[in-house]
Amino acid sequence: MDQSLRITILETLAKTLSVELDHRRAAEDKLKVLEVTDSYGVHLAEISIDPLVHLPLRQLSSIVLREYTNKHWSSFCDNFTSPEPSEESKVTIRRLLVIGLKEPDTKVKNAIAYALANVAKWDWPDDWPDLLDILLMYIKTENPDLVDGSMRVLLELADEITDKQIPTLGPIILQEVHKVFTDAQKYRLRIREMALDVFLTLYEVICEVALTNKSLVKPLLENMLLPFSQALVMALQANDGPALDNHLRAKIFQVLTSIVQNSPKQVSKLLEEMMPTVWATLVNLAEIFVKSILNATDAELSEEDIGASNNGKPLEAVFDFLNALVETPKMKNFVRAAIEDVLYYLLIYMQIPNSQVEDFLENVDSYIINEDSDVFMKSVRIRAQDVLVNICKEFAAGEAPTALGNAVMRLLEQATTYKNEGRQDWWKCLEVSMHSIGLVAPMYVGLSVLGKTGDQLVTFNPVTVVQSIFDDPRIRDAPPFLLGECIWAAGRLADILPEDLKRRVIKASVEALHLNQHHVMKVCGI
């Protein structure tokens, strides 16, 4: 191998890190020239895993190698750039990539893993038949770096397994990832999370195959679905610590959501045992939300900590799971059985945190965007209300009107208690009550006789509640959200309002649009 080329590549890589823009651009252009040499990829692989090379250069080399394999490895890839490396170079690069999986530096290891996956997409299994055996062997080792790197490749490979390979490869891979996920003593949280990613990818491939050839994958589903589902339920019951955190909790719910949607019949019995754990998760996260986020003045935690952002997402995952239960005929009875409590806790999540109160009061765009249910990055409030509306829509002719009414009454009592205690957040309970009534107003308006839905007596009258809050002098002491939501909810109930209240609501709506009114009032009054 031409060692002078290796030296040139190292020097050029170093120059790409220069603070001088002209030097960086010249080095990048030179790399493009070197890229056409056959041994370029081999040298990049050697540099990436050479412990004697300065770490920043190794990290950069591994990233360049990843891009090289993505563009040059096969003439059949969509973004192919000539030339394709020789078979001799390919063999060497494959060997070096496997060695690189044990790299302790995360950046190098991740880039190596992705480069290996790029190669495997074209070479496995025909030109690299022993790759899967190597990966599975590495996963069984005691080296955490080797396990981590191998799992990353396996995750990429799982998406490439075809329907013809599933019957033979599926059981082998699923057995190993099941071992990884269930062994919390041996494997780190992130590795166990990747095991779930592999399982989820393969499971959804299996479900897709089952649509056209059920007999081909039926034994595989029967053999692996129940043990894996049981392992998921057991994992959820652990306390936060080395065996469970919000990231893994979110992934577990993501997998369970897919199982509920695709295999409800097979897991209905198990889910019956699991639901107390689901409700406990909903309640526990609510306690964190209230203590650390909802009423925090200078929050030490953000919504990210309970999963409202893209990091972990446990709360979002629970909401998705609840929606899956509601939308799956064989599963919706689980929600029906606990509907009042579920709606109550959804209302808790729909309250406005102090940090957002300040933002909404100062920034009209923030308030309008938050009220837009199509906004891409949804807040906890929007995600929770999506589930609430979905539940009320599904059970509108049955339990939902009374259940939501009872949940609202619990919040109204809570507001009175808070007010008597001198708490400043009392109004939030009333605001979210009005907001929820407005969201599902058609459910109440649609009742043929107010007070009944089907054969079930509805003891909750939303008009009475709206009027009581509208008449409450305390409403003027609260931020404008409360009066604004009250006007909006009343407007949504207009068809069943008594005439005197209707006139007052119209007058209040007109007043809300005056130039001197706060923008929150104007938005609600429109």
On whether the CB atoms of residues 340 and 391 are closer than 8 A, the answer is: no
Q: Which segments of 156-198 are extended strands (E)?
A: none
Coil, strand or helix: which one is 16?
coil
Closest CA to 97 of 156, 53, 41, 19: 41
212 vs 215: CA distance, rounded Å: 9
HSE-CB at 114 with a 13 A cutoff on CA atoms is 14
53 vs 481: CA distance, rounded Å: 60
On whether the CB atoms of residues 49 and 94 are closer than 8 A, the answer is: no
110 vs 112: CA distance, rounded Å: 5
**To 10 degrees, what angle do helices 246-262 and 264-289 make?**
150
On whether the CB atoms of residues 254 and 318 are closer than 8 A, the answer is: no
Q: What is the pLDDT of residue 308?
A: 44
421 vs 38: CA distance, rounded Å: 77
Q: Which amino acid is at 58?
A: R
441 vs 274: CA distance, rounded Å: 33
pLDDT in tens, 399-418: 999 999 999 999 999 999 99
On whether the CB atoms of residues 526 and 513 are closer than 8 A, the answer is: yes
Closest CA to 281 of 308, 319, 310: 319
Q: What is the pLDDT of residue 518?
A: 60
Q: What is the pLDDT of residue 131?
A: 96
On whether the CB atoms of residues 16 and 56 are closer than 8 A, the answer is: no
7 vs 477: CA distance, rounded Å: 74
Q: pLDDT tens, position by position, for the chain (526 residues)? A: 578 999 999 999 999 999 999 999 999 999 999 999 999 999 999 999 999 999 999 999 999 999 999 999 999 988 999 999 999 999 999 999 999 999 999 999 999 999 999 999 999 999 999 999 999 999 999 888 899 999 999 998 888 888 888 888 999 999 999 999 999 999 999 999 999 999 999 999 999 888 888 888 888 888 889 999 999 999 999 888 888 998 999 999 999 999 999 999 989 888 888 999 999 999 999 998 888 888 776 545 455 555 444 333 789 999 999 999 999 999 999 999 999 999 999 999 999 888 778 777 666 566 565 555 444 335 888 999 999 999 999 999 889 999 999 999 999 999 999 999 999 899 999 999 999 999 999 999 987 444 454 444 457 889 999 999 988 888 877 888 888 888 899 999 999 999 999 998 888 778 766 655 666 665 665 5
300 vs 206: CA distance, rounded Å: 43
> Tokens 């891979």 belong to which residue?
173
On whether the CB atoms of residues 150 and 176 are closer than 8 A, the answer is: no
- Counting Cβ atoms within 10 Å, is residue 268 exposed (0-12), middle (13-18) or buried (19+)? middle
459 vs 440: CA distance, rounded Å: 16
213 vs 65: CA distance, rounded Å: 40
Q: What is the pLDDT of residue 309?
A: 42
Task: Please count the other Cβ atoms lying within 10 Å of the Cβ belonging to residue 509.
Answer: 17
Tokens linked to 407: 């949940």
Tokens linked to 289: 């939300």
471 vs 193: CA distance, rounded Å: 53
Phi, psi dihedral angles at 295 (to 5 degrees): -110, 15
HSE-CB at 436 with a 13 A cutoff on CA atoms is 38
Task: Please count the other Cβ atoms lying within 10 Å of the Cβ belonging to residue 500.
Answer: 9
459 vs 310: CA distance, rounded Å: 40
Q: What is the pLDDT of residue 306?
A: 52
Q: In the chain, where are the structural domains located?
A: 1-124, 338-526
